[in-house]
């Protein structure tokens, strides 16, 4: 399979857009736009970011505290800035608990290093979340190599929350089922 074809297949998965921030070797704030981010564990509180080995940020992140800035829908310019296309005005920085953070994000996770793993042409960084902040801003999304927003909320959506909740799950505790083969025999 060609690399471009695989990249296009990966692009079928819509993801959020983050800027991973840390300090470079001189102690200056540095950031990189990353869509390879995921939650790992609730206890301990862990998240994962994956960066290409060729990136400057990959070298700066090894063993260093970092922040995951989950970009808001109105931060396309910020995403482009940290993807190597400088914007004017530049994004606004603030001091964070573990690393510099980007102002205006939908949410920010401040992390200390937990582990890192070889991931082929990438490095997988696991961070322990020591502080998290959130706003009511909708997130910026990336799908098929373009930025998107959530769009209007569907008034007809039947799923209003996670059905993985161990207390309610897909079915209540009193739900009973008739096996399909017994149901068809009775009809």
Chain centroid, CA 131 distance in Å: 16
Q: What average pLDDT does the chain have?
A: 85
Q: Is the pLDDT of residue 181 over 60?
A: yes
Q: Is the pLDDT of residue 147 over 60?
A: yes
- Mean pLDDT over 30-59 rounds to 92
Q: Give buried/exposed letters for 90-112 (b at 16+ CB in 10 A, else e).
A: ebeeeebebbbbbebbbbbbbbe
DSSP 18-40: EEEEEE-TTS-EEEEEE--EEEE
- Give residue limits of the domains in the chain: 3-150
Considering only residues 9 and 162, tell me which one the structure prediction assigns the higher pLDDT. Answer: 9
The pTM of the full predicted model, rounded to 2 decimals, is 0.78
Q: Is the pLDDT of residue 164 over 90?
A: no
Considering only residues 82 and 183, tell me which one the structure prediction assigns the higher pLDDT. Answer: 82
Please identify which residue in the block is written with the tokens 């207390």. 167
Q: Give the fold, CATH level 3, of 3-150.
A: Pnp Oxidase; Chain A (2.30.110)
Instruction: Provide the token pair at 96.
Output: 């964070």
pLDDT at 58: 87
pLDDT at 101: 98
Give the whole-angstrom CA distance, residue 91 versus residue 104.
Answer: 9
């Amino acid at each position: 399979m060609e690399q471009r074809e695989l990249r296009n297949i990966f692009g079928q998965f819509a993801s959020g857009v983050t800027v991973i921030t840390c300090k470079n070797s001189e102690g200056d704030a540095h950031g990189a736009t990353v869509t390879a981010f995921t939650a790992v564990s609730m206890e301990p509180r862990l998240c994962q970011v994956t960066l290409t080995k060729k990136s400057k940020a990959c070298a700066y992140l090894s063993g260093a505290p970092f922040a995951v800035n989950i970009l808001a829908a109105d931060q396309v310019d910020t995403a482009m800035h940290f993807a190597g296309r400088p914007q004017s005005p530049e994004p606004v920085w603030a001091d964070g608990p573990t690393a510099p953070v980007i102002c205006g994000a939908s949410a920010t996770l401040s992390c200390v290093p937990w582990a890192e793993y070889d991931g082929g042409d990438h490095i997988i960084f696991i961070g322990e979340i020591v502080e998290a902040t959130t706003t009511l801003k909708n997130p910026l999304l990336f799908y098929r190599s373009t930025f998107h927003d959530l769009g209007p909320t569907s008034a007809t959506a039947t799923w209003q929350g996670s059905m993985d909740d161990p207390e309610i799950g897909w079915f209540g505790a009193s739900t009973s089922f008739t096996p399909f083969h017994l149901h068809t025999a009775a009809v």
